């Protein structure tokens, strides 16, 4: 009983030291519960079957991520615990002087660890349960779920999983504490406070050389990383750049601590102002003693920025063009070039229109579709990609796409057929004279190459006629098929008399469903999808607006949640390590601040010096991470460009807000914690 009281009093007495540790534990528990309670949230109960399947996949992915996250949090908690134990060496030494044995100290420490763990677990679960209700709203918005019957949800499975994972972590911490206390020696505990951290003074010239090398390696890494997605396309460059970036980051912090004072000394008006001399030397000492930690923190912040920004960018790109890319309810495409593997029924069906196929299968077209259009697409060896691009544009295309097939036949559509489809879709129609053509292309990765010959007025030859471009760039305000993002990579629209019927390669049937509500359209879609030959067979492909919406929204939501989960944990880990180090240094430097007071420095100047010191310590790894991220986001943008336009501005702004709230929150808490530690008693 006495040990329990002492443990509880110790926990209250060391509140200043425990505040960051407690905050990190609570946030870790809350986040872990929120992301592991996804499958139980009420918002997920009012969704379509296809979205439910995607949610099950997301839950499985988050489950795997949770194991990785638990390892990250375990290392963070163990690191924080070691910091707290180290801070109390003198206290434990006094206990031993008073006659307390190692077993009693171990028992008290065991109780303290259990109390702080149980308390933070309880508070974290309460915050997690409340936070999961807000997450339900986010889930509902991302998955377009029905929230009309929303009720409060408590996930027993998530609680059990959270308690189990964190219970194992706390158990590991307790065991490590027992091992530490069993090795305590009285003399080491009593003199621990007098032992200064050994700081190796680096040669300034060597530090400058290493700094230049680090900058050189970083520059090379940035170039290789960007070139891997926008130039050579060599993926191995990205792998090499990653390892070079890690090495250069370590060298940067290792060399920075060797000459940071030398650099600032050259600016006398700054160095000699207020307590800047003291602040700069403190920062130099901190970086010198935490080179590895600062490197890890910088890389974690870099991953946080890139992961979170990319997740938001994916979400925006997957949903921003949905309405434009899905102008009708269903598109059925029939390929007329039937392979030998096709069945007899498929070969016979290839000879008739899609509309006739539907009628033969007893589909009431007028009863199911408000309006529909069926058009053919053509292709011929007379008009290949090489013919439309020309040699110069083709060579430029090969730089980005080495495997491009120059002899591939272009897809051709008659202007009258396109205009019929455009009127159905509500798109702009096209007027052509007998000697004009238009290239329909709204896929940004290809449009740049397609525009090159058009700008120079490149003519094409078809059926012995020469056609000139109507426009000096691609026509982008239209589409033939449906997709989540603009995917038309080049359709050649020509006058009606420039094609032969034997060139016909496929037919496209586009229609709007009868009915206005989502439920009505889903019933029609379920009925149509049951028709034989319309289930993605050898000659058919079917795409619907509902399916595109469901898959796009679901994929975007999964990317968002993964980005949030990893981003928050990485950011908390980075901020917590910095905060603990700063609090530890503040405790070690209490006497230095006392000396400053004795020589006449007032509290306002001391607080300003502490603020500047803490701010610089937090900003240095963040600034380098931001520089990394400028090039990292270019790489991510290049990789994600296949999904459509990337809204980098929005994603960067939201990421900045995210970092300011969490990272800035830890910074403020650290400053006030340090201020409390150094204040005169």
| pLDDT tops 60 at residue 680 | no
Average pLDDT of span 508-525: 77
Residue 624 is predicted with a pLDDT of 92
Max distance between CA atoms of the chain, in angstroms, equals: 107
Reported as a pLDDT band with limits 50, 70 and 90, residue 216 is: very high
Tell whether the torsion through CA atoms of 225, 229, 230 and 231 is positive or negative: positive
- Rounded to the nearest 5 percent, the helix, strand and coil shares of the chain are 70, 10, 20
Residue closest to 329 by CA, chosen among 367, 366, 370, 364: 370
Rounded Cα distance between 564 and 434, Å, is: 55
The residue-averaged pLDDT of 165-173 equals: 81
Residue 233 pLDDT: 60
- pLDDT confidence tier of residue 5, bands split at 50, 70 and 90: low
Minimal CA–CA distance to 47: which of 144, 166, 170? 144
Region of 161 please: left (phi>0), alpha (psi -120 to 50) or beta: alpha
Q: What is the pLDDT of residue 247?
A: 92
CA distance 157 to 160: 5
Q: What pLDDT shows up at residue 404? A: 77
Over 50: is that where the pLDDT of 196 sits? no
466 bridge partner residues = 461
Give me the phi and psi of 531, to 5 degrees please.
-70, 125
In the chain, what are the domain boundaries?
1-195, 329-550
Rounded to whole angstroms, how far apart are CA atoms 438 and 467? 10
d(CA 394, CA 389): 6
For the stretch 579-610, pLDDT in tens is 888 887 777 777 787 888 888 778 888 888 88
pLDDT tier for residue 529 given thresholds of 50, 70 and 90: low
How would residue 475 be classed by pLDDT, with cut points 50, 70 and 90? confident
In 10 A of CB 8, how many CB atoms?
13
If one compares 97 and 508, the residue with the highest pLDDT of the two is 508
Burial class for 618, CB neighbours closer than 10 Å (0-12, 13-18, 19+): buried
Q: What is the pLDDT of residues 57-107, one digit of tens each?
A: 777 787 788 888 888 888 777 777 776 676 666 666 676 666 666 677 667
pLDDT band at residue 261, thresholds of 50, 70 and 90?
Answer: low
Evaluate if residue 539 carries a pLDDT over 50. Answer: yes
Least-confidence region, from 240-244, 318-322, 436-440, 585-589: 318-322
- Give which of 398, 410, 563, 395 is closest to 491, Cα–Cα: 410
Length of the chain: 681
**Which pLDDT value is given to residue 101?**
67
- pLDDT beyond 90 at 229: no
DSSP bridge pairs for 330: 511, 544
Is residue 311 within 8 Å of 560, Cβ to Cβ?
yes
In the DSSP assignment, the letter for residue 154 is -
pLDDT at 11: 59
Among the listed residues 474, 434, 477, the one whose alpha carbon sits nearest the alpha carbon of residue 458: 474
Of the chain, the percentage scoring pLDDT greater than 70 comes to 77
Which among 42-46, 182-186, 538-542, 597-601 has the top mean pLDDT?
Answer: 597-601
The pLDDT value recorded for residue 497 is 86
More confident residue, 368 or 268: 368
| Residue with more model confidence, 270 or 326 | 326
Of 169 and 302, more confident: 302
Q: What percent of the chain has pLDDT over 90?
A: 5
User: E-assigned strands of 318-472?
Assistant: 330-335, 369-378, 411-414, 436-440, 460-462, 465-469
- pTM comes to 0.74
Beta bridge partners of 504: 378
pLDDT band at 442 (very low <50, low <70, confident <90, very high): confident
Distance CA 563, CA 307 (A): 5
**Could you tell me which of 533, 527, 544 has the C-alpha nearest to residue 352?**
533
Q: Nearest-CA neighbor of 618 among 652, 657, 583, 588? A: 583
Mean pLDDT rounded to a whole number for the chain: 78
Tell me the C-alpha to C-alpha distance, in Å, between residue 630 and each of 186, 293, 324, 588, 661.
52, 22, 30, 37, 21
Does residue 382 surpass a pLDDT of 80?
yes
How far apart are alpha carbons 376 and 374 in whole angstroms? 7
Tell me: pLDDT of 456 over 80.
yes
Question: What is residue 199's predicted lDDT score, i.e. its pLDDT?
Answer: 47
């Amino acid at each position: 009983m006495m040990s329990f009281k002492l443990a509880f009093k110790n926990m209250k007495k060391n509140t200043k030291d425990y505040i960051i540790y407690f905050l990190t534990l609570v946030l870790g528990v809350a986040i872990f519960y929120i992301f592991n309670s996804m499958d139980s949230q009420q918002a997920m109960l009012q969704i379509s079957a296809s979205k439910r399947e995607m949610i099950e996949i997301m839950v499985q992915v988050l489950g795997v991520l949770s194991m990785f996250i638990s390892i990250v949090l375990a290392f963070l908690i163990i690191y924080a615990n070691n910091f707290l134990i180290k801070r109390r060496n003198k206290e434990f030494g006094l206990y031993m002087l008073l006659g307390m044995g190692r077993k009693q100290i171990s028992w008290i420490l065991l109780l303290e660890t259990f109390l702080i763990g149980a308390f933070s677990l309880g508070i974290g679960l309460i915050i997690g349960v409340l936070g999961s209700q807000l997450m339900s709203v986010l889930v509902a918005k991302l998955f377009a779920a029905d929230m009309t019957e929303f009720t409060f949800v408590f996930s027993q499975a998530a609680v059990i999983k959270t308690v189990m994972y964190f219970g194992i972590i706390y158990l590991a911490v307790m065991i490590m504490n027992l091992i530490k206390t069993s090795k305590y020696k009285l003399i080491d505990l009593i003199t621990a406070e007098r032992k200064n951290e050994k700081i190796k003074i680096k040669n300034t010239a060597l530090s400058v050389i290493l700094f230049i090398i680090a900058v050189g390696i970083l520059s090379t890494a940035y170039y290789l990383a960007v070139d891997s997605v926008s130039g050579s396309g060599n993926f191995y460059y990205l792998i090499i750049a990653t390892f070079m970036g890690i090495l250069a980051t370590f060298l940067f912090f290792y060399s920075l601590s060797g000459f940071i004072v030398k650099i600032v000394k050259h600016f006398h008006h700054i160095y000699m102002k207020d307590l800047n001399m003291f602040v700069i030397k403190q920062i130099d000492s901190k970086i010198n003693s935490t080179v590895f930690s600062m490197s890890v923190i910088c890389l974690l912040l870099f991953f946080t920025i890139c992961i979170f920004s990319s997740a938001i960018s994916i979400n925006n790109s997957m949903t921003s063009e949905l309405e434009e890319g899905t102008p009708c309810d269903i598109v059925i495409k029939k390929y007329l070039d039937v392979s030998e593997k096709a069945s007899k029924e498929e070969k016979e069906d290839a000879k008739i229109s899609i509309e006739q196929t539907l009628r033969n299968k007893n589909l009431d077209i007028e009863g199911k579709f408000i309006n529909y259009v069926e058009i053919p697409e053509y292709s011929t060896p007379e008009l290949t990609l090489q013919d439309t691009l020309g040699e110069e544009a083709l060579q430029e295309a090969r730089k980005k796409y080495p495997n491009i097939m120059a002899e591939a036949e272009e897809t051709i559509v008659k202007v009258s057929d396109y205009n019929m489809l455009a009127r159905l879709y509500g798109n702009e129609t096209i007027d052509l004279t007998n000697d004009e053509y238009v290239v329909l292309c709204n896929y940004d990765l290809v449009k740049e190459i397609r525009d090159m010959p058009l700008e120079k007025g490149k003519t094409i030859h078809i059926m012995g006629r020469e056609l000139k471009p109507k426009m000096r760039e691609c026509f982008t305000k239209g589409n033939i098929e449906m997709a989540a993002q603009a995917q038309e990579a080049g359709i050649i629209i020509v006058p009606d008399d420039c094609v032969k019927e034997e060139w016909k390669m496929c037919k496209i049937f586009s229609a709007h469903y009868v009915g206005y509500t989502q439920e009505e359209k889903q019933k029609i879609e379920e009925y149509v999808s049951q028709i034989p030959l319309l289930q993605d067979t050898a000659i058919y492909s079917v795409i619907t607006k509902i399916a595109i919406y469901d898959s796009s929204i679901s994929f975007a939501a999964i990317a968002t949640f993964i980005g949030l989960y990893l981003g928050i944990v990485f950011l908390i880990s980075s901020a917590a390590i910095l905060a603990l180090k700063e609090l530890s240094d503040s405790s070690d430097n209490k006497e230095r601040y006392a000396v400053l007071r004795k020589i006449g420095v007032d509290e306002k100047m001391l607080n300003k010096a502490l603020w500047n010191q803490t701010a610089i310590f937090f900003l240095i790894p963040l600034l380098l991470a931001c520089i990394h991220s400028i090039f990292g986001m270019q790489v991510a943008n290049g990789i994600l460009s296949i999904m459509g336009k990337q809204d980098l501005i929005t994603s960067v702004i939201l990421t900045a807000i995210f970092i300011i709230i969490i990272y800035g929150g830890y910074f403020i808490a650290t400053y006030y914690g340090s201020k409390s530690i150094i204040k005169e008693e």
